[in-house]
Structure 1
Amino acid sequence: ADVGAAAAPFSDWVRAARSAETFAADAMAALAAARGRPGRVATLIAAADIGWDAGGRMAAPVTPDGPAPLDETALSAAVRALEWGERTVLLVGNSVLEDPAALALLQGIAERTGARVHAPVSNRRIERGAGRFEVPKIPYPIDAALDCLRPYAHAILVETVPPVAFFAYPDRPSLVLPETCEITVLAGLDGDGPLALAALADRVGAKPGKPVDTPLPPAPQPGPITRQALAAAIARALPEGAVVTDEMVTAGGDVFPACAGSAPVSWLALTGGSIGIGLPLATGAALGAPGRPVIACQADGSAMYTIQALWTQAREGLNVTTVIFSNRSYEILKLELRNVGANPGPDALNMLDLDRPALDFVSLARGMGVPGRRVEDAAELQRAIEDAAAEPGPFLIEAVM
């Protein structure tokens, strides 16, 4: 089998290690490739017998490539684009969204010039919450995304690419920006976005913005858990310094904007189109940042793809609070059926429901060693999240919507 050919479509770097003598150097090269900007997939293929062959030797560390230099021509073009004020949009991603200082500069540029700011639908991490400049995401639904970006004549890209529709939809464009929109790439995916923004701020005379006071939504009142009540409960319950994992495109659509004024948190979300990243992502976050509580905002349908992650959380004693958005339906798949204009019959729709029997996530969690509780009241949900986040170890809350 040609393993390299199989790995190539999903990898930025592929190498086959041929001997024990070169294996350490190959591994160092793979590490350097993976650590290159903006973070890459490196695949090193090693035959099993290398593990016991003689001749292995240590290898010197390999330094990853640095960021691409700032393009002065692109910088001047960005300055000219900002003269259009609110008809210009700054699309920012990657390290800009991870750096509070860069976010403050972005805020200052927007306030100085009148330009608007957006982030892509999918981002590897966003530092957000009270005091930080909130960067709204381009909406996931195709029609909402087109409406969001329709007003803009100029787009300045900083560590991101021109936004495209998640799928090919009938009678809709793949490129979400207007055809007439002029695009300036100030910093590519391999660039230094914070440095580029600093240069842009200097050219337009912008200073870092002041801390933003974004109010929290009102406390949820006793009653059924609606989308709005769910969002309010989570926003008010998030502990400072938490890591939030986000796999909630449909049922949790109100959660992201509601958390603009929450305690400062790191926000992680799926960066591709697969279903089931949420629970493993929360597990990895807890392992990578053991001193921080993790709040997993998890749709019920996608949770079933990787529910076994709960067992790992129990085994490792990870501080993960999982909130299951239990609407008993694959709503994301129903949304995509509507987007492509499909008119499915009852048998097809029946396959997208998660009832008969209804899933019992508390029992599923308990069977893998994770305690849990079922919550049907909105006011109780906020208290349940606060209580679980304050205790070490994993806990699951099934929020019945």
Structure 2
Amino acid sequence: MTHIPQICIPATYMRGGTSKGVFFRLEDLPFAAQLPGAARDALLLRVIGSPDPYGKHTDGMGGATSSTSKVVIISKSTQPEHDVDYLYGQVPINDSFIDWSGNCGNLSSAVGPFAIANGLVDPARIPHDGLCTVRIWQVNIAKTIIAHVQVANGEVQETGDFELDGVTFPAAEIQLEFLDPADEGDGEGGGAMFPTGNLVDTLEVPGIGSFKATLINAGVPTIFVDAAALGYDGTELQAAINEDKAALARLEAIRAHGAVRMGLVAEASQAAARPLTPKVAFVASAKDYVSSSGKSVRASDIDLLARAMSMGKLHHAMMGTASVAIAAAAAVPGTLVNAAAGGGTREVVVFGHPSGTLRVGAEAMQADGQWAVRKAIMSRSARVLMEGAVRVPGDSF
């Protein structure tokens, strides 16, 4: 019997924010996988170890959670005034496809360090010591992200004292700027930040109920509902949601019908084919709670509570793109997020999530009756966990 040998592909395993993923330079991928299509997806699925009916990713690099089953492809940018193109793929655990419909805000923080370390940024722009500004073109959503990466002795500085709830150890801070983060999809609003034209809509979900919702395209298309409308108080941790099959089904139904209302799919049944977007999240006014690490979070230290679903499960912290959506919605008076934060005009909010707290900011403005966010800002950290090569069977793509 003839056996196909494995092939080696240069790769880097990185943490970015509260996520982990396998990073590739486009030029290092086998030629057949350098272009979009079945070969590329098959290769990357095999790298991660999906689909896995056991739900463990034992035979791949995936971590068997939505936060750790991700792939990233980086290349020299094709866009003027940008350093690199950044393509992100979310890999489902049990399904044989990759969702390319959105961005990962957490892994966005690892793109700048990867680009610098892999020679994709002009050396003349890298200081010996200080901050290096990396101009990133996010291919999935056609948006610009600016990463400010700390450099020491001409190399990326990864260690530091910046602490991020949801990440065990401190590291060097990386500030991210998401420019014009509103999505430009084909929703009812013609690509507006609020695709229906409303700050609050009534979302009818057959068999589930009727919900007030803020539907926003910023960072990632997101459906915000009040926690109380779902029977929650906003302090829930993962077990309270993820071990409740009825709750997961209810939240997925809300997500699917919200996707239709936002113009992302024609029918609710089509939402299953794009589990990455939109997100569904619930918010509540600030109150005391204990995070998943046992840390006490005081109501006086936060503006609101927020919980978000990722790939059908409650996220252990908060997705970076959903954080942008929270910042944008909080900056617009009249949204459910702004109301949960106490109303009024605000450019910065601190929200409580299952792992702790996060501070985010957004610059919102209104012109001709339409709201827009020009920039959203947050801090993350990133670190190389392993570099070298991944191996996959030669006939896997």
User: Which has the higher relative contact order, 1 or 2, with Cα contacts under 8 A spaced 6 or more apart?
Assistant: 2
- Find the structure with the greater CA-based Rg: 1
Q: Write 1 or 2 for the structure with the bigger share of strand.
A: 2
